[in-house]
Amino acid sequence: MGVFGGFLRLWIFAKFMISLGFVLPNHINLLSFIMQKLQTLDYVVFLVYFVIVAGYGYWIYQRKKSKEASTTDFFLAEGSLTWWAIGASLIASNISAEQFIGMSGNGFSMGLAISTYEWMAAATLLVVGYFFMPIYLKNHIFTMPQFLNQRYNSTVSLIMAIFWLFLYVLVNLTSILFLGALAVSTISGIGFTTCMIGLAVFAIIITIGGMKVIGYTDVIQVFFLILGGLATTYLALDLVGQEFGVTGISSAFSTMLEKSEDHFHMIFNEGHPHYMALPGLTVLIGGMWIVNLNYWGCNQYITQRALGADLQTARSGILFAAFLKLLMPIIVVLPGIAAYTLYQKGLFQAEMLTNGELNQDRAYPVLLNLLPQGLKGLSFAALTAAIVASLAGKANSISTIFTLDIYKKYIAPTADEKQLVWIGRVTIVVSMILAIVISPYMGIDKKGGFQFIQEMTGLVSPGLFAAFIMGFFWKKTNSAGALVAIVGGFLMALAMHNNVLPGADWSTIPFLDRMGIVFVVCVIAMIILGLWKPSTKGLDIDVAMFKPSTGFAIGSAIIVVILTVLYTVFW
């Protein structure tokens, strides 16, 4: 009951705050609140959040200042993050504007089905905890390019390091900044560019303190994220109840189930309007596993949080993160469905438009503008916490890869620890500036932020995951096969994306299915090349290291049962 008890207490606390007066009168016209910007009380609440996070981060930085010249401490916080800090940091780094804005927007357009990215991630984290993390820690892996160098060769490692840098800066960092600035600007009325710069500066303040500062401030970020998120969800459901004349959150949820029944199905049949985004059983047994296993298991941005810990601590943190993932759809998807339910009744028709067209990514910001003073500030803090934590984590990973896998190896091999940490900090600032300049030109607002990130990342994921999974578990896998998978897989996925690859009309095939096809082709190519010229560079693997503790096994079983129930009820 520990984790779920914590969730329940947060929900009760959010409800208690509302009961103190932060609630809309029953008969008020909701539209009168839509363009209400942040008021004095909101700024006070937000200022409290900012002071707590910045102050706590500074305190940690000063407390550990004697170790700041160490690269392992700066990039990994080696041995100093507890399991709850690791789990919270995983979620804080993962949940950002792409979820609050992009996934909530998808909740508005397609409904609960988009939750599969969150709920399947919970199952994926268990796999990472059972199999991936023991391999990394046993072989002293600190960065993903280091793994590729150790398992294959420096060419594979360098190519992938460059791939990751481009992907992190051009897709992830830009998307987080763009969507975050869009939301903050909509809510606060502050200019879009000013919001983007402000978010970047806030993230830099946290990031330059190193992974230890990021990890422990993420605990506070997650608290605000969950508390503010639950409060927003509660108010969204309350608004539905008011508008449809029912009382109680359970009655409001039942009303949503009735009025938006088409938005409460997890599996889409072929012919469904959103089948191309989430094609049927692929979300359970197909390409969704590639998306999640690559993201949670082969991604510097994520694995970095656990790579500085021992196996038991890392697994406990991962299990905690898996439980938190089960909660995320309540925070980010249900508000989008609530907005859709209200929209169908005729509310905020104009506010959902951008340049005269319906823009799903406006659903969450419009909902926040319905909230009363104080609570809006809390929800605004939650959104900002998600954005800043994710920016900080992404920037730190960019810094880690560039500093340790490119600068140290190819530019300045003799650089000392102090110089490397300085380069890491410069890289953080430069990457943020690049993201600010580039993001308005990436077309992030054309498709929906969350889908944009998934499809762009999906160009690299199949080949990269093939190189990792084959490198883990098949000793004969060689560097030629890894190169073919990483480079060839990317080119094949790109050709499919642009519909220039012969053999089919790839524009009619869902991108998750295309990912599955690319992955299978890459694995076949790696097997052929491995049999032709077997590698001798296997990893140090002991079967006994995969054995989980009793607590991890029980926690995993609970998560599997919960997922089974969720998919059965909302099939």
pLDDT tier, 19 (very low <50, low <70, confident <90, very high otherwise): very low
The answer to whether 158 touches 402, Cβ cutoff 8 Å, is: no
Torsions phi, psi of 358, nearest 5? Answer: -60, 125
CA atoms within 13 A on the CB side of 531: 5
What's the Cα-to-Cα distance from 81 to each of 70, 105, 217, rounded to whole Å?
A: 16, 34, 11
In the structure encoding, which two tokens stand for residue 172, read together? 């992830």
In the structure encoding, which two tokens stand for residue 522, read together? 């890459």
Q: For the ranges 9-13, 18-22, 24-28, 178-182, which has the lowest average pLDDT? A: 24-28
Rounded to whole angstroms, how far apart are CA atoms 53 and 285? 40
pLDDT score for 568: 94
Q: What is the mean pLDDT of residues 474-483?
A: 92
Question: With 90 as the cut, is the pLDDT of residue 4 above it?
Answer: no
Question: pLDDT tens-digit profile of 219-239?
Answer: 777 777 787 778 888 888 988
Question: pLDDT tens-digit profile of 279-338?
Answer: 988 888 888 999 899 888 888 767 776 777 788 998 999 999 999 999 999 988 999 999
pLDDT score for 212: 64
pLDDT tier, 524 (very low <50, low <70, confident <90, very high otherwise): very high
Question: What angle do helix axes 511-532 and 461-473 make, rounded to 10 degrees?
Answer: 40
pLDDT tier, 484 (very low <50, low <70, confident <90, very high otherwise): very high
What's the Cα-to-Cα distance from 173 to each of 307, 390, 431, 444, 445, rounded to whole Å?
A: 22, 9, 8, 12, 15
pLDDT score for 79: 55
* pTM across the whole model: 0.81
Report long-range pairs for 429-434 (Cβ below 8 Å, ≥24 apart): 429/204, 431/168, 431/169, 431/173, 431/395, 431/398, 431/399, 432/173, 432/177, 432/200, 432/203, 432/204, 432/391, 432/395, 433/200, 434/169, 434/173
pLDDT score for 443: 67
pLDDT score for 126: 94
3-state secondary structure of 82: coil
Q: What is the mean pLDDT of residues 522-535?
A: 94
Where is mean pLDDT largest: 138-147, 252-261, 347-356, 365-374? 252-261
The answer to whether 370 touches 351, Cβ cutoff 8 Å, is: no
| Pairwise pLDDT comparison (353 vs 491), residue with the higher score | 491
pLDDT tier, 15 (very low <50, low <70, confident <90, very high otherwise): very low
Question: With 70 as the cut, is the pLDDT of residue 252 above it?
Answer: yes
The answer to whether 83 touches 313, Cβ cutoff 8 Å, is: yes
CA atoms within 13 A on the CB side of 271: 1
Question: With 50 as the cut, is the pLDDT of residue 23 above it?
Answer: no
Question: With 50 as the cut, is the pLDDT of residue 395 above it?
Answer: yes
Name the percent of the chain lying above pLDDT 70: 84
Report long-range pairs for 276-280 (Cβ below 8 Å, ≥24 apart): 276/510, 276/511, 277/106, 277/110, 277/451, 277/510, 277/511, 278/110, 278/113, 278/114, 278/116, 278/510, 278/512, 279/510, 279/512, 279/513
**pLDDT mean across residues, the chain:** 81
- Which H/E stretch holds residue 178? helix 174-188
Question: pLDDT tens-digit profile of 28-44?
Answer: 333 333 334 677 788 88
pLDDT score for 348: 74
pLDDT score for 322: 94
Identify the CATH homologous superfamily for domain 2-58+81-143+159-265+300-442. Answer: Sodium/glucose cotransporter (1.20.1730.10)
Q: What is the mean pLDDT of residues 425-441?
A: 88
pLDDT score for 177: 86
Question: With 70 as the cut, is the pLDDT of residue 211 above it?
Answer: no
Going by C-alpha positions, the residue among 281, 335, 355 that lies closest to residue 571 is 281
Question: With 70 as the cut, is the pLDDT of residue 68 above it?
Answer: no
Q: For the ranges 1-15, 492-506, 521-535, which has the lowest average pLDDT? A: 1-15
In the structure encoding, which two tokens stand for residue 566, read together? 């969720």
Question: pLDDT tens-digit profile of 133-146?
Answer: 898 888 888 778 88
pLDDT score for 446: 60
The answer to whether 313 touches 137, Cβ cutoff 8 Å, is: no
Question: What angle do helix axes 211-244 and 249-259 make, rounded to 10 degrees?
Answer: 80
pLDDT score for 77: 52
pLDDT score for 396: 82
- Give the amino acid at 143: T
Question: pLDDT tens-digit profile of 150-206?
Answer: 889 889 888 888 888 888 888 888 888 887 887 778 777 788 888 888 888 888 877
Residue with tokens 């897709």: 171
Q: What is the mean pLDDT of residues 500-514?
A: 89
| Pairwise pLDDT comparison (377 vs 271), residue with the higher score | 271
